[in-house]
């Protein structure tokens, strides 16, 4: 057999190893096999239902059911039943509300559990049990222990603000912070106006989420070095054809690889285009693109390993915001450009590797999938840009005062980038209110070490090998952009499928169940939009609508003293 040529280096570490499953692909593979295999190859069970029939039944049932949480009874998407017992009690609302601490709150809506609020978790059915346990432990420690202690002890004047949201406030907590007063017409930070308006304040959950994100970024580097260092070195010296006892690699070795120079040329073309765009458009100094490439080079491998094993996302955007705030604070466009190139490039790279693993499972030739991915990306970029440009030029005051349109991603992106504009010193400097949060970088780097040492000293204690600090921190670091109730309901569904349901059911139907639920929700959303929402047909008012926050808990957004900040 001829020696394999050198190929894209990340394939060697993230695609070829059989232990990196990339669980995101499993429901798709189950559906592909169900639709294309003539024989139901899985062993028979006491259920005689074929996989295809099972998929269709679950999809139809979910399509019918989703009319309730999606249109008729939205309270099912945010069911805070304990708060409904006494909805006028502020303390009870803060503790039990879906957007509070979510004690006793549940979601009976597959779409909200897996995707609502930009949740990065995906289907809990495909995530390993040990990862779900880590996320739940992180949730309990952060949401049910650290945040309540910080809030009710009035740390950082927490009682002036709601217990959990992603807004920014004035120093007395009576109003949302008006950023237009501290940003001039050129979209630059005005320090004089900022000193007059006062410092920006956050809720306790918002502040803690930044600390958890900082800790997660540093811990993933240390964790990868400790737990995967030897494997990475071994993978570097192993070719695709020489991977013993791996049928996927044996079969894929028969195809010619996409040469490394294909990837190199693609990178150079896009890097040059990015330089030209930054220089001509004056978005940011073009030489900062080299710094972005350095960050990606450091983080793509550890983040890819976590994504492959758990389908969880490490919040690398906080590091890009941190760097942007340090080197180009005061310039909104430059900071946003830096964040866009760093985060989105890493996200697209991990997504590309994910689909390479899918082609690896499905035995699609590497050169074919490379060309398909490049062509598909170019087409989607052109279509997305054309549609966005069309609406921005035809819809008056879109994303500003037009109430019929809400640019959710734009608002979220702006909120997450705002402190990079005012600079690190104003938030995390020596005189900054949140300066102690920076210690979380050190905390995150230290936390994996004792568990690794204990696992080496006590190898017979198996649970020590499953302690994963980055995963434990990653989910709760998404607060408060994701309500705590989303995480709790996600964990509950995962527990049901991974523990309660018997293994034969899990092996035969679970992946199809996940895919069918996604398909049913997607089809129903399309029907609801074109038949009702698009025509502004609202369901009659009743208690099932859940009120203004859809969870039947109207006071969970008030501060400790019963006041809701105004704009």
pLDDT above 80: residue 405: no
What CA–CA distance (Å, rounded) separates 67 from 465?
43
The per-residue pLDDT for 80 is 85
Q: Which residues contact 417 (CB under 8 A, 6 or more apart)?
A: 321, 324, 332, 335, 336, 339
Residues 329, 333, 334, 337, CA torsion sign: positive
Which of 314-328, 437-451, 537-551 reaches the highest mean pLDDT? Answer: 437-451
pLDDT tens profile 27-61: 888 888 888 776 554 455 555 678 888 899 999 99
Where helices occur in 79-152 by DSSP H, the ranges are 81-85, 90-96, 110-114, 129-141, 147-152
The per-residue pLDDT for 398 is 72
Give the residue, 274 or 241, on which the prediction is more confident.
Answer: 274
Least confident of 114-128, 257-271, 347-361, 437-451: 114-128
- Provide Rg for the chain, Cα atoms: 25
Mean pLDDT of the chain: 83
What CA–CA distance (Å, rounded) separates 493 from 434?
36
Q: Give the residue carrying structure tokens 């940003």.
A: 183
pLDDT tens profile 64-94: 999 999 999 988 888 888 888 888 888 998 9
CB 189 within 8 A of CB 420: no
Q: Give the residue carrying structure tokens 């630059």.
A: 188
pLDDT above 60: residue 119: no
Cβ atoms < 10 Å from Cβ of 526: 10
What CA–CA distance (Å, rounded) separates 8 from 359?
15
Cβ atoms < 10 Å from Cβ of 536: 7
What CA–CA distance (Å, rounded) separates 381 from 376?
8
The residue among 316, 304, 313, 315 whose CA lies nearest residue 357 is 304
**What DSSP string runs through 217-249?**
HHHHHHHHHHHHHHHHHHHHT--STT-TT-HHH
Average of pLDDT values for 6-33? 80
User: Phi, psi (5° rounding) for residue 208?
Assistant: -65, -35
Least confident of 244-248, 434-438, 453-457: 244-248
What CA–CA distance (Å, rounded) separates 391 from 520?
29
| % the chain with pLDDT above 70 | 87
Give the pTM.
0.88
pLDDT above 90: residue 274: yes
The per-residue pLDDT for 6 is 41
């Amino acid at each position: 057999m001829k020696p394999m040529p050198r190929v894209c280096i990340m394939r060697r570490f993230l695609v070829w190893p059989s232990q990196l499953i990339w669980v995101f692909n499993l429901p798709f593979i189950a559906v592909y096999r169900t639709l294309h295999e003539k024989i139901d190859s899985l062993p028979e069970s006491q259920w005689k239902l074929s996989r295809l029939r099972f998929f269709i039944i679950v999809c139809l049932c979910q399509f019918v059911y989703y009319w309730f949480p999606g249109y008729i009874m939205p309270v099912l998407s945010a069911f805070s039943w304990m708060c409904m017992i006494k909805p006028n009690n502020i303390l009870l609302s803060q503790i039990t509300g879906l957007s509070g601490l979510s004690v006793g709150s549940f979601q009976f809506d597959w779409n909200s559990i897996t995707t609502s609020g930009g949740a990065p978790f995906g289907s809990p059915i495909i995530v390993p049990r040990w990862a779900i346990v880590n996320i739940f432990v992180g949730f309990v420690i952060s949401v049910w222990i650290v945040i309540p202690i910080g809030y009710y002890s009035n740390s950082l004047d927490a009682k002036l603000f709601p217990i959990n949201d992603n807004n920014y406030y004035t120093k007395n907590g009576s109003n949302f912070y008006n950023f237009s007063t501290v940003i001039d017409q050129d979209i630059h930070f005005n320090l004089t106006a900022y000193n007059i308006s006062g410092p920006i304040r956050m809720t306790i959950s918002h502040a803690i989420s930044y600390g958890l994100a900082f800790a997660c970024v540093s811990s993933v580097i240390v964790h990868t070095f400790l737990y995967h260092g030897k494997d990475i070195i071994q993978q570097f010296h192993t070719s695709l054809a020489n991977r013993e006892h791996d049928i996927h690699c044996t079969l894929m070795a028969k195809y010619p690889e996409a040469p490394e120079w294909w990837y190199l040329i693609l990178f150079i073309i896009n890097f040059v285009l990015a330089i030209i765009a930054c220089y001509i458009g004056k978005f940011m100094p073009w030489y900062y693109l080299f710094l972005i490439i350095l960050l990606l080079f450091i983080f793509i491998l550890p983040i890819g390993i976590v994504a492959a094993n758990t389908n969880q996302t490490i919040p690398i955007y906080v590091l890009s915001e941190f760097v942007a705030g340090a080197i180009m604070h005061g310039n909104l466009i430059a900071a946003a450009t830096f964040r866009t190139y760093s985060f989105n490039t890493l996200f697209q790279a991990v997504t590309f590797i994910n689909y390479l693993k899918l082609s690896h499972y499905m035995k699609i030739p590497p050169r074919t999938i490379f060309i398909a991915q490049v062509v598909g990306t170019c087409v989607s970029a052109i279509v997305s840009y054309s549609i966005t440009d069309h609406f921005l030029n035809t819809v008056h005051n879109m994303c500003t005062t037009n109430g019929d349109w809400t640019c959710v991603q734009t608002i979220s992106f702006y909120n997450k980038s705002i402190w990079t504009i005012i600079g690190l010193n104003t938030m995390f400097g020596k005189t900054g209110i949140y300066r102690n949060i920076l210690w979380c970088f050190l905390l995150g780097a230290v936390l994996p070490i004792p568990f690794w040492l204990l696992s080496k000293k006590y190898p017979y204690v198996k649970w020590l090998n499953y302690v994963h600090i980055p995963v434990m921190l990653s989910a709760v670091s998404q607060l408060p952009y994701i309500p705590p109730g989303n995480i709790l309901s996600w964990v509950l569904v995962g527990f049901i499928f991974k523990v309660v349901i018997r293994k034969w059911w899990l092996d035969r139907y679970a992946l199809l169940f996940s895919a069918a639920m996604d398909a049913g929700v997607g089809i129903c959303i399309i029907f609801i939009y074109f038949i009702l929402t698009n025509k502004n047909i609202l369901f009659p008012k009743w208690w099932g609508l859940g009120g203004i926050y859809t969870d039947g808990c109207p006071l969970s957004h008030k501060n400790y003293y019963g006041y809701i900040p105004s704009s």
